[in-house]
Structure 1
Amino acid sequence: MKAFLGIGLLGSNFVKAMLAKGEQVQVWNRTAEKALVLEADGAKAFEEAAKAVEGADIIHLTLKDDAAVDEVLAKAAAGFKPGAIIIDHSTTSAEGAIKRTKHWKDAGFRYLHAPVFMGPINALESSGVMLVSGDQEFIATVKPELSKMTGKVMDFGEMEGKAAGIKLLGNLFILAVTAGLSDSLQLAKASNISPEDVISLFSEWNPATSLTGRIKKMSAGDFSNPSWELTMARKDAGLMIDTAKAGGQTLITTPSIAEVMDTWIDKGSGSDDWMVISKEI
C-alpha cells in the first residue's frame, strides 16, 4: 500500500495513475478538499499526514520546497511503518536532499530524492523523465516502482543531491528558453510578423539540434575559431533591441546579453566566437 502527500496538479495525477493500475493509495494535502476529491477515484483521504502514511510501504511526496518537505515529513513520521521508503518528487535544493537522506536513514527509513521533468498530463499518462542519484543498491530496489510512474528514470550515479542539481539546471534552461521565446515574439510583433510565422520558422529550423555542440564548445573554453564573431552578434543584438523599441516592445533578456557582450568586447574578444561570453564558467 502507498501513501501520497501533496495533492497539487502533479500529485493528484500521480495518484490517479496509481489507482488506475489497481494500487491502494492513501492521500493527504494541506488543503484537505484536494485530497477528498480523489476519493471518487478510489483513494482514501486523511486530514492528518501521520494517519495517511499508516501501513504504507512507500510514501510519495510532491511539495513546494525544502521547508514544506521537512515540515510534512516531521508531522507524518509518527505514522511511518518500520522500514518505510520515502520517495520525494519535490523540486528542492541539493543540500536539503542530502540532509534528508542522512536524517531519515539514521531514523531507520530510506529516503530518495526523485525530482521529475513531468507535467500533470505526464503524471497521468506515466510518461516523462524522473531523476535519481545516490545509493545505487537502494535505487536498484525502487527503480521498478519508479519506472511505472514515468517513461524514463535517469540515474546520475552515487553522488547524493546530484538529481536535485540536475533538476534545477533543467528548470533554469526552461526559464531561459521561455524568456528567449518571449523576446522573439516581442521582436516579431514589433516587425509585424505573426506568431504563426514564428511557429513555421521553428517547425522547419530547430536550434535545439546545436545544443550538444554548444555545450561542448563552451565547456572546452576555446573560442578562437568563431562561427559567429562576437562583434557581429553584438551588432545583431543592437538591431533586435532597436527594432523592438521602435515597435513599442520591451525585450526581457536581450539587453542584458548585450551588456555582457560589451564587457567581453572591451576585454579584446570582439573577434572571438560570441560564446566567449561563457568563458568564465
Structure 2
Amino acid sequence: MPSTAPRSYTATPARKVAFLGLGVMGYPMAAHLALAGHQVTVYNRTTAKSIAWCAEYESLGGQKHASTPRLAAQGADLVFCCVGNDDDLRSVTLGADGAFAGMEPGAIFIDHTTASAEVARELYGAARTLGLQFIDAPVSGGQAGAQNGLLTVMCGGDQAAFDAVQPVAMAFSRAFTRLGDSGAGQLTKMVNQICIAGLVQGLAEAVAFGQRAGLDMNQVLDVIGKGAAQSWQLDNRGKTMAEGKFDFGFAVDWMRKDLGLVLAEAQRNGARLPVTALVDQFYGDVQQMGGCRWDTSSLIKRLG
C-alpha cells in the first residue's frame, strides 16, 4: 500500500535532495518529495527501511539510499531530516560520517525534528562555519498530516535560506512559515505543544464527565463541535477517546519528550507553565499504566 495519499503538487524545478530519517513522519515526507519530481537520496539508521522506501518509489526513477548521512548529503542542494531528539540530530549532522561533512558550500540543511532551540542554534552556528545553511523546521499535523502532505511547518533561520527551501518543502506542507531567526521554529513548536497539552486534558475531563453523566458522547461531541468548544483535538480525538481507542496517532512517549523540552526552555526564560507541568505528570501516569505508545488522547485513562 502507498505511504502517501494522492495530492497535486505545484510545479517546481527538480532538485537533488536528501532525506535523513524514515520514521512514521519522514517516510511519507520523503515520498512526497519524490512524487513532486525531486531526486531523493534517503538514509535511515535501519538500512532495511531505506531499501524498502527505494523499492516502493523505484518507478519514479532517480531515488536511492546511502549507508551514512555524509554519503546521502553528497551533491544534494537540500538535506531534509526528521529524527528523534537532540542527540539523534547531532549524530546525523556532525562528525566524519555526518551530513555536514558531505554537504557542499551553500547547501541547506532543514531539520524537521522536534528538538531544543539550543541545539538548533548550535547546529546553525556549526553550519555557518562550514559555509552551509541550517533551518530549524519542526512540524505539526501528525502521521496523517505527513501521509497527506498537509503538515504545518514552523521555521527559524535566515530569510534567504528559507526562501530557497519553501517551494520544495511545500510538497509535504500546507503551510511553511518563517517565524524568526535560528531557534524560532523550535520555540513555536513548544507553543504548539503547550496548547495541545491543555486542550487534550480538558477534552479528557469533558468526555469522562459526560460519560459519568450518562450522555451519548457521540451526539454531545457533534453538538459542541459546532460551537465555541470546537478544536482539532475535539474533531479528531473526541470520539475515539470516548471509545477508548488509542492505538494510533502521536505517542505519549513523544509528547513527554516534547514537554520536557518545553519545561526546560521555560526554566531558562522564566515562563510559568503550571498546567503544562501538571499534564506532563499526568502523561507520566499513563506511561506507568503501560501506555507509552498510546495516542496522547489516552489521558482519559487516568480518569476511568
Specify the SS of the correspondent of 2:104.
Answer: coil
Identity %: 26
1:191 partner amino acid: A
Question: Are 1:139 and 2:162 counterparts?
Answer: yes
Residue number among 111, 128, 141 corresponding to 1:105 in the alignment: 128
Residue number among 75, 85, 88 corresponding to 1:55 in the alignment: 75
Question: Are 1:44 and 2:64 counterparts?
Answer: yes
Instruction: Give TM-score scaled by structure 1 length.
Output: 0.69
1:15 partner amino acid: A
How far apart are the structure 2 equivalents of 1:161 and 1:182? 32
> CA offset at residue 86 of structure 1?
0.4
Question: Are 1:173 and 2:195 counterparts?
Answer: yes
> CA offset at residue 141 of structure 1?
2.7
Specify the SS of the correspondent of 2:41.
Answer: strand
Residue number among 39, 45, 62 corresponding to 1:30 in the alignment: 45
In structure 2, stretches of 5+ residues that fail to align are 1-15, 232-300
> CA offset at residue 126 of structure 1?
2.6
- Could you say if the C-alpha distance between residues 188 and 17 of structure 1 is closer, same or farther in structure 2, counting changes exceeding 3 Å? same
- Could you say if the C-alpha distance between residues 140 and 20 of structure 1 is closer, same or farther in structure 2, counting changes exceeding 3 Å? closer
Question: Are 1:164 and 2:179 counterparts?
Answer: no
How far apart are the structure 2 equivalents of 1:250 and 1:112? 39
In structure 1, stretches of 5+ residues that fail to align are 210-248, 253-281
Question: Are 1:201 and 2:223 counterparts?
Answer: yes
CA deviation vs aligned residue, 1:103-142 (integer Å, no higher than 9, x gap): 1111221111111113233233332311113322332232
Instruction: Give TM-score scaled by structure 2 length.
Output: 0.64
1:138 partner amino acid: A
| Residue matched to 2:144 | 121
How far apart are the structure 2 equivalents of 1:79 and 1:110? 13
How far apart are the structure 1 equivalents of 2:303 and 2:224? 19
Specify the SS of the correspondent of 1:148.
Answer: coil
- Could you say if the C-alpha distance between residues 141 and 19 of structure 1 is closer, same or farther in structure 2, counting changes exceeding 3 Å? closer
CA deviation vs aligned residue, 1:217-270 (integer Å, no higher than 9, x gap): xxxxxxxxxxxxxxxxxxxxxxxxxxxxxxxx9549xxxxxxxxxxxxxxxxxx
| Residue matched to 2:115 | 92
Specify the SS of the correspondent of 2:223.
Answer: helix
| Residue matched to 2:27 | 12
RMSD: 2.1
Residue number among 81, 101, 105 corresponding to 2:104 in the alignment: 81
**Contact 2:108–2:161 under 8 Å retained in 1:** no
Specify the SS of the correspondent of 2:225.
Answer: helix
**Contact 1:186–1:250 under 8 Å retained in 2:** no
CA deviation vs aligned residue, 1:180-229 (integer Å, no higher than 9, x gap): 211112112211223213322322323259xxxxxxxxxxxxxxxxxxxx
| Residue matched to 1:182 | 204
**Contact 2:84–2:114 under 8 Å retained in 1:** yes
> CA offset at residue 9 of structure 1?
1.0
| Residue matched to 2:85 | 65
**Contact 1:13–1:121 under 8 Å retained in 2:** no
Runs ≥4 in structure 1, deviation > 6 angstroms?
A: none
**Contact 1:185–1:198 under 8 Å retained in 2:** no
